[in-house]
Amino acid sequence: MAGQKTNSGALERDRQFFAALLAQDVPALSDLLADDFVLIDVLQGGEIPRAGLLEAMTQGIVRFERIEVLESRERRYGSVAVVTGRTQMEGQGGGQAWSARSRYTHVFVEQDGRWRLVAAQGTRIAGD
């Protein structure tokens, strides 16, 4: 997938993002994420830049064991798309197991004929 251009919509690229996280596929993540990508993590609200996420995945510091996308939708505004949805995830982080039900917002920008993820934020659903 790395280096290939795609005209897939942002919703398809969103699915590819979750699949790459689950597979620990760092080259696919690198292709999907814009250079200035920022993740606001669902567990602590920390800001994680692209390099930090890729490094954590490469070193196995963060591992996703299950990601279930329960719902998602895409809204487009020219060369920007916003994908919102709901997930249920489980994984390991820093040697500790975690799980979360969350709502998320992902912002994609079309660059050079493909959708790149520029921002991702997850919010834990209360009661979890």
Domain boundaries, the chain: 10-124
Q: CA angle, corner 92, sides to 21 and 51, nearest 5?
A: 50
Q: How far apart are CA 71 and CA 75, in angstroms?
A: 14
Residue 36 pLDDT more than 60?
yes
Residue 127, pLDDT score: 73
For the chain, the average pLDDT equals 91
Mean pLDDT of 52-72: 95
Residue 43 pLDDT more than 90?
no
Domain 10-124 of CATH type 3.10.450.50: yes
Mean pLDDT of 65-93: 96
Render the burial of 88-100: b for 16+ CB within 10 Å, e for the rest: ebebeeeeeeeeb
Most confident of 8-12, 105-109, 120-124: 105-109
Residue 35 pLDDT more than 50?
yes
Diameter of the chain measured on Cα atoms? 42
> Would strands 96-111 and 114-124 be described as parallel, antiparallel, or unpaired?
antiparallel
Q: How far apart are CA 30 and CA 74, in angstroms?
A: 22
State pTM to two decimals: 0.88
